[in-house]
Structure 1
Amino acid sequence: MNAPARSHTSPISPTLAADGRGLLLVAGPSEEVAKRIESFLRNAGHPLRCAWVDDASEVEDILRRSPPDLLLCDDSAGQAQCDRLLKTALELRPDLPVLILSREPRPGGVVQALEHGARDLLGYGDAAQLRQLELVVIREFLGHQHLRRLRVMSERLHDFEQRHSQLLETTADAVAHVQEGILAHANPSFAKLLGYENPEALQGEPLIDFVVADQRTRVKERLRLVLKGKHAGEPLEFSFEGKEHPVPVSAQLVVSSEDGERVIQMIIRSDTQPGLTPSVVEGTLVANPPPASASVAPSNERLGFLHALSASERSGQPRGALLLTVDGFSALEDRFGLADSESLLEQLRQALKARLAPADQVFRYAAGELAAVVGRPRLADIQSLGELLQRELSQQIYTTAQHEAQLTLSLVAYPLAGDEKAEAVVREIQRESRRLSQKGGNQFAVLGAAAEASQSEREDARKAAMVKKAIEENRLKLAYQSIASLEGDSRQHFDVLVRMIDDTGKELHAGEFLPAAAKFNLMRNVDRWVIARSLAIIAKRAGGKDIPSLFVRLSEDSLRETDDFLKWLTELLKAHPLQNEELVFEIQEMVLQNHIRKAKTLTETLAKLGASIAVDHYGMSSNSAQMLEHLPNISYLKFHSSYTQKFNEKEVNRRMSQLMEVAKQKKIKTIVSHVEDANVMARLWQMGVNYIQGYHVQEPEVVLLASEFITKAKSIHAPR
C-alpha cells in the first residue's frame, strides 16, 4: 500500500477552513481530471470536493438549483463547449467564478479566457501547474465565499432596518435620533410628547431648542460626554418645552451608527421613574426587569393549582403541569400602572384558556405568573403544547385603553409520569421558570423523567421525518472508504457509506440518523436510494479502466421483503446488467441467521444477477462457521470490529484464526475493518487476511458525480 501523500502547503500558503463545505464543479469529458484536482487540493490541506459532469445541460440544471463555489471548464471538450458554459454561468449566476482548464495552455489563451468572462486559464498537466491552480482556486473560492456572505448580511441588514423602522414608528415610547445636535429622526410618539402631530416637523431642528432654557447647558454637556463614550445608557432627567407646558422626561442616550455616521439615540418615556431603562428584546421595546414584585396571587389560586396537580396523580391519564412567567412583569407594572398591567395579564390568561381544552385548568400562580394543569392523549403532546403556547402567546399584541405591549414569556412544562409528588413538581417548575426569565426570558423548557423519555422519542421521530424528507429531496449522498488489498489486487474496492444533509446544510453521518430510520421503518427506502445511486455511478463509469467494486449494505427490512426487493432490483438492472463483482451486498451476520431461508433465496438470486455477497459483523455468533453451510454463495466475510479492537487478547485471536481457516477452506475472501495501527495490519497480513479498511488505510472521501452534487451544494446556502 502507498503511504499517505504529504501536504505540500507552505507556511505562507493561504488555506481554507476545514469545514468540508467547498464545492468545485468540473465540466469536461474525463472524470480523471476532477479526481486529480481534488486529490491534489486535499493533499495540500484544502477540504474541497470536486463534482464531475460531462453534459452541458446538467451544468445548467445544477446552476439553476444549487450553484457550486467554482465552475471549472475543461477545454478538451472544445472551445464551443467552454463558451457555452461561460455564457450559461454569466446568465444564471453572474457572481460565480469560472476557470478554464487546459492540459497545455496556449499563448494568449489567458487573454481570450478573460475576454469571454472567465476568471483565469489554468493548466493541470504537472505539479507546478497544479500548484498555480491551487492558489487561484483558493483566491476565487474565498472571494466568492466573502461575496456570498456579504450579500446574505446585506439582506439581513435590510430586513433588520425595516423591522427597526417599523418598531420605532409603532412603539408607545418616544424615540429620536440626534446627529451633531440636530434631530435627524423622530417617531410619532416623540412628536406627540412635544405636542406635534407630524414628526417631520421636528426633523432638522436643533434638539436643544426644545429643552427648557435653564437645563440646556446640562443636556448639551451630557450629549458631548455620551459621544466620548461616557455615561452612555445612564438615565438623564430633564424637561422639554412642550407646545402647552413643560414635559419632564427620563431619557436613555446611547451612541449608534446610521449610514456610517455616529448618532445619539434618545429613548424616552414621559412616565418613567429614574432607574428604569428600556431595551429591545426580540424586536420589541420592553423594560429591563428589576427585582421580582413583592405582590403575589391569592393563596387560594396557588392552592387550587397544587390540589389539581395532586388529583391528577390519581387520574391515570397523561397529565402535565405548565408554569408561565411574564418576563419583566414588575417593570411592566411600573410602566403601565397596576390597573393596566393586571388587565394585560387577564388578557394573557384568556388567550391561554382559549388554546387549552375545556377540561384543562388555569390558575393565577403569582404576580406575572400563570399555571395550568393539562391532560393530553400522549405525554409528548404536553411538550408540544408548551412549545406552541410559549411561541404564540409571545407573538400576540395585548392592548389596554392606554397602552399596548408584546409580552415576552418563559414557560416550563412538566409531563407527569405518575409517581411525582405535586409539591416537588411545583417547586421545580417555579424555580426553572423564574431562572429562565431572569436570564433573559422568552424561553421554553421541559422537565421530568417522562419528558426525557418523550424527548428521546420526539427526537427519533424528528430524525425519521428528516430522513424521509431528505430522500424525497435527494439530500442523501454517498461517501466511499477504501477496502485495501493486502495481496496486491489491482482492482479498487470501496465500502459505500451513506450521509445526509439536514435542513440547515449540516452533513450527518449514518450513525446520526439511521437508527431513527430503522425505528420508523424507513430502511427499505434508504437501501433502495443507496443501491440506485450506486448503480448510477457504476453506469457512469462503464467502459472506463479499473472499474471499482462497490460494497453496499442491505438492511433487515429489505431481507424481510426478499421477493419485492428482488423484483425491484431485477427491473433496475435491465438497463445495466452487473459485471463480475461491480456490486457487493453487505448483510449483517445476525440478520442472515434470523432469516436463513429468505437469506438463501436472496443470495442465490443476487449471484445469478451478477452481484456478490459479503457477511458483515461476522464472527459474533457461536454458529458463524455453520451458517456458511447454508449460504454457499458468500464471497466475502467482514469481521466484526471487536476483533480489531481486542486483537491482542489471546482468546479473540484464537477465535479469529479458527474462522479464518474456515474461510480459506471455502475460498471466501476476508476483510478486517477499523484498522488504525500499522503493527496490527502487519499481523493481519501474516494471518492471511485478504483486505483491510480503516482510518489507518484511508478515511472516507467522495468524488461527486453531477447527480450527487445538488444534495451537497444545498449546504452552501445555509446561514453560517
Structure 2
Amino acid sequence: MPTHDAVLRLLLVDDRIEDAEQLTSLLRNGGMAVRPQRPDGVDELRQLLATQAIDLVLASISARSLPFDVVVREVQASGKDLGLLAVIEQLDDDVLLDALKRGARDVVLRGQPIQAQLIVRAEAEFVRTRRAVRSLEALLRETERRCDALINSSRDPIAYIHEGMHIRANEAYLEMFGYASFEDIEGLSALDLIAPSHAAGFKDLLKRLSKGEAPPPQLEIKAVDASGAEFDALMEFTPASYEGEACLQIVFRPQLVDASMAAELDALRHRDPLTGLANRAHFMSELERAVAAAAGGRHHQALLLVEPDNYDALIGGIGLAQADDLLKALCARLEGVLDGTTIAGRLSDHRFAVVCRLHDHKATLARAEAIRAAFHGRILEIGDRSLTLTVSVGGVQIGERNAQIDPVLSRAESSLQSAMGVGGDRVEIHDPSARDRAEEERIQAWVQRLRDALDSNGFTLHYQPIVSLSGEPGETYEAYLRLKGNGGEIIMPSTFLPLAQEQGLGPVIDRWVIHRAVAVIAERQAAGKDTTLYVKLGPESISANDQLGREIVDAVRAAGIPGGRLVLELHEPSVFTHLKAIQGFAQTLRTAGVRLALEHFGTGLNSFQLLQHIDADVIKVDRSYITDLAHNPDNQAKVREFAGRARELGKTCVVHYVQDAASMTVLFGIGVDYVEGDFLAAAGPAMNYDFG
C-alpha cells in the first residue's frame, strides 16, 4: 500500500516516446512522483510553456524533432523560471561544456539512474528555492512597507538602533523625548537618552548585544528627554532589520504603574491561567526567538513536545472533574526538571512544549530523558487520589538548515507521534545534523512493532464508500490500512508505512490486507450483503512474490466469493517499472474474475496506452485533477476525456478525493461512473453508508 511524494511537473523532449517513458520510470524508481508531458512540436512546446505549470524541462541534446537550441530559445522566451537539463547518452568534457554553453543548467546521463535522479532532485530543489526566495522577497518588501506605515502611525514610541545609534524613529518617539524632527536625533547614541544613574548598565547591555547575545525582552530604566528631565520607562527589545541592515527595534513605554502591578499584568498576559506555564501565544514567540537564533548561526537550540500517554484512559479513570488537577500536577512535575535555559508552555489541552537554549543534541536528549524519568514509576498526587502515568517526549534539534517554525513543529510532532506509536514512555529526538544510534533504535522499534501487529492482529481496516452515480446495485468501499495503538488510538499509515516499505515489510503488509479484505467480503456475503472492496497493492509486492496471484486466486475460491468483488489497485506511475511481472499477475487473477484498477490515472505520458499492456477494469483519476474542479476548466476537460475514453473501452471510471458539492455537480454532468471522497463520507471502521 504505497505512499507518494508531491508531484514534480516535467516537460520531456525526446524523439521517441519509449525513451521519454524510460526516463520517467527511472525517476519514479528513485522515489520521485512526477507528472510528465511530452510536446510533439514547437507549437505544442510553446503552448505548454505558456499554459502549464512546469518545474523542469528535460531535453535530449540530440533530438531532431525538437532541437535542443529551439527548446532553449522557447524556455527563455517564456519568461518563466524553469530548470533546463540536457539529456545525453555519454559524458565527456566536450559534451558537458557544449550543453552548458547552449543553455543547460546541468546534464542527465540516460544510462546512469543514480546520477539522473540526483541531478533532477537537485535542480528541482534549486527551482523551488529560487521561486520561494522571490516570493519571500516580495512578501518582505510588502511587509516592510506596511510595517513602516504602522510604525509611523503608532502611538507607541518606536525607534531602530544600529550599533547603538538611532537610524529610525517615529513621531511618538520624538514627541516623548522632546525632539522636533528625526534630524535632531539621527546618529544620536541611545545611551544619550538614558539617565546617568542607569548609563553604566545600559552601556554594558549594548556591549553584550554587539557580541551577539540575545536582547532581554524588557528592561526597566530611567530615561532622560531633550530638556534633561528624567522619567521611569520600560524598554522592550526586538531583533529587526531596516533597509537590509540587522538592527534592534526598541519601544519606550513610560512607567504609569508600579513595578509589582506591571509584573502582575505581564504574568496575566503571558501565562496560562491553569498551569502557570507560558501560554501558547507567548511560547510561540519564544520559539520564534530560538528559531531566529538558530538561523543566525547560534546553534544548540531545541524544541521538545511532551504528552501523557493514554490520556483519555487516564481521564476515564479519575473523572473529568479532576482533569484540571491532573494537568496542574503534570506541569508542576515538569517544571521540577527544568532550569533557566528552558521555557515551558502549554500548547493545547494536554500537550506541553519546552524550548531548550544552549542545548546540543546530547543535552537535549538528557533533558528529554529527565522529563520522561520524572514520571516513569513515580506516583502523582491528584487531589485525594494517587496514580502513576508515563509521558512520551518528541523533539527536534534546531539548526540553520531547519530554522523555520513549521518544519520544526512538524518534525517535533512526528517524533512525538512515533514515540507514542511504539508504546509510549519513550523519547525520540531528531537531529538533522547527525545520524546516531537513536535513529537506528527507532527504526528497529518500529519494525518490531509492525511485525508484532502482523502476528497479533494489530492492524485493522477502515472503509470509505465508493458511490455509483447511476445507481448500480450493491455496495462498494475502499479499504484503508490502519494500525491499532496501545491505548486504543488509531495510527495513520503515513506514520509507519514509508518506514515499513524501506525495511522490506511492504509486501508482507500487502498480503495481510488482501487476505483480510477477502475475509471481510465473505463475512458480508454471509450477512446477505453484496460488498465490493477496493484494495491498494504495491507493484513491488507483485515483483517480490511470483506466486502472489495464485495465492489470491486460491483465497478467493476458498472463501466462496465472486472474484469481481475484489478490486486490486495498482499505482499507475509504477506499473511500467514492473510491467512483465504485473502482466503475468493479471492473467492469473483473470482465472478467478478478480479485477484490477489503475489509480493515479492520468499522471503518465499516455495513460491510455498503458491499457494496451495491462487490461485493467477500472481507472481511478488522479486527485490532482479534482482539486478545485468546479473552477478549473482544464481539469474538467481532462476528467471528461478520461470518462469518455473509459466508456468507449468498457472500463469503469472512478473519481476520488471529492471534497465539495460544487465538484459533485460537475462530476454528475461529466458522466463518471463512481465517486469517492470525504464530502460523501470519511473512512471509518464500520461499513454503514446508506447506498439506497
Q: Highest CA radius of gyration, 1 or 2?
A: 1
Q: TM-score, normalised by structure 2?
A: 0.42
